[in-house]
Amino acid sequence: MQNPKEEHKILIVDDEPNIVMALEYAFKKSNFQVFIARDGEEALQIAESVLPDLVLLDIMMPNVDGYQTLRKIKENQHMQHTKVVFLSAKNKHSDIQKGLDLGADKYLTKPFTVKKIIEEVKEII
């Protein structure tokens, strides 16, 4: 948190403020620069301006959902290196497959362990 140069930029997208709050605290503590969006639309705006290294993306959100957000990110030339990790309560095999087929780097399911999420994210980056 104290050394901005080493910080990776992460964008957390979820419409559940309580979940976001816990993740935000944990990632900041692990020296990530954290950005927050509450739905897909907001996420794309922020992502375009900050070009995060990784987007932690919920799927079921109002207006623009996680799948659409992922597609938009992949279409954006400036974000070709941006990794995307889904974090969703949808845990059916078909849902996971769909997420990965769309080009997500990882698919993590809720409920989760914060520590594990951070480990996975670090690994991908």
Nearer to another protein, 82 or 87 (CB): 87
Nearer to another protein, 51 or 95 (CB): 95
Which residues of the shown chain bind another protein in the complex (CB under 8 A)?
A: 15-16, 18-19, 21-23, 25-26, 38-39, 41, 60-63, 89-90, 92, 110-115
Nearer to another protein, 78 or 122 (CB): 122
DSSP secondary structure, 69-125, as one string? HHHHHHH-GGGTT-EEEEEES---HHHHHHHHHTT-SEEEESS--HHHHHHHHHHH-
Tell me the closest approach of the beta carbon of residue 33 to another protein, in angstroms.
18
Helix, coil or strand: residue 17: helix
